[in-house]
Amino acid sequence: MTIRSVVAGTGSALPKRRVDNEELARQVDTSDEWIVTRSGIRSRYIAGEGETTASLATEAARRALEDAGIQTSEIDLIVLATATPDQTFPSSATKVQAALGIDDCVAFDVHAVCTGFLYAVSVADAMIRAGTGRTALVIGAETFSRILDWEDRATCVLFGDGAGALVLRAEEGDRGILATRLHADGRHNDLLFVDGGPSTTGTVGKVRMKGREVFRHAVVNLADVLGEVLSDANMTSEDIDWLVPHQANARILDATAKKLGLPPEKVVVTVDKHANTSAASVPLALDTAVKDGRIKRGDIIVLEAMGGGFTWGAAVLRY
């Protein structure tokens, strides 16, 4: 029998403070109408004092462990995707490990911005199948609000904070991750980036984005990678029960679903409530659709994301 990485549980966490478009429009030169029409976003959550990437990640991880009925002592591996770690080092994964009271396991961060969670899932799946460990916590967590330029209305209205987590467990059978595909093309790193860093400016920096160009690349790259990953899994778009996409923009979600020939009711959309939470958006959306009962055991789920670098990727799994 084939060993696969099965999703044993999901969890998520959001900061306490919810900020809707009207509240934002009182501080920034924008309007609810512009934000909703261009992006589909109606609100986002913004981390307050004491809320950090690692604290949100820990809360999401606890919920995923509880959902899976798994003890912290069973965790062999923590892979945390983030572009907004608590500190330059140590990794936020080791902060989550300590907060969960785990004395020894493999723990590290991966950084592929909005595609981070797809990279984390792919790496954890490969390590599980290679026998490095049997049980993994895979987390996407961000506090993008801390790297936004609140004077730049073209970016600050689009992002939010949050965390999502999966417990992946080695099991024999036909459930689990069936295929993953990852890509990167660093020639485009000037279209979506942060203008600071430890080795250049010595500052944290702020998000800069040429939104229209990112949009154009996103639609093409996502259609391509979805075609590749479905072919790897010997499937077509007709086999998909749920598409759980990166939540950057409702218009990108619509365009991607249309290219796949997928009806909108099979696409999980949370961008209206959470905005773009970068590496957290896919696991947040997945947990939302699992907890509200839409996603059921045995369903075929396709995950996808595209972000800074550029990076992009997709995964097919039987839940």
The residues binding ligand UT7 (CB under 6 A) are 30, 34, 38-39, 114, 153-154, 157-158, 211-212, 214-215, 218, 248-249, 252, 276, 306-307
Q: Which long-range contacts (CB under 8 A, 24 or more apart) does 285-290 make?
A: 285/164, 285/244, 285/245, 285/247, 286/10, 286/164, 286/166, 286/244, 287/10, 287/11, 287/12, 287/60, 287/63, 287/64, 287/164, 287/165, 288/12, 289/242, 289/244, 290/10, 290/319
For residues 4 and 59, give the distance between their C-alpha atoms in angstroms, rounded to a whole number: 26
Cβ proximity to ligand UT7, 105 vs 260, nearer residue: 260
- List 21, 221, 249, 276, catalytic entry: 276
Cβ proximity to ligand UT7, 105 vs 252, nearer residue: 252
The answer to whether residue 276 is catalytic is: yes
The answer to whether residue 156 is catalytic is: no
- List 114, 156, 188, 221, catalytic entry: 114
Cβ proximity to ligand UT7, 56 vs 306, nearer residue: 306
Q: What token pair was written down for 302?
A: 């396709």
Shortest Cβ 216–ligand UT7 spacing (Å)? 9
Instruction: Name the amino acid, one letter, at 20.
Output: D
Cβ proximity to ligand UT7, 166 vs 306, nearer residue: 306
Q: What token pair was written down for 2?
A: 């084939």
- List 21, 246, 249, 274, catalytic entry: 246
Cβ proximity to ligand UT7, 108 vs 215, nearer residue: 215
Shortest Cβ 249–ligand UT7 spacing (Å)? 4
Shortest Cβ 285–ligand UT7 spacing (Å)? 13
Shortest Cβ 188–ligand UT7 spacing (Å)? 11
| Residue with the CB atom nearest ligand UT7 in the bound state | 211
For residues 59 and 55, give the distance between their C-alpha atoms in angstroms, rounded to a whole number: 6
Cβ proximity to ligand UT7, 121 vs 156, nearer residue: 156
* Torsion 307-308-311-317 (CA) sign: negative
The catalytic residue positions are 114, 246, 276
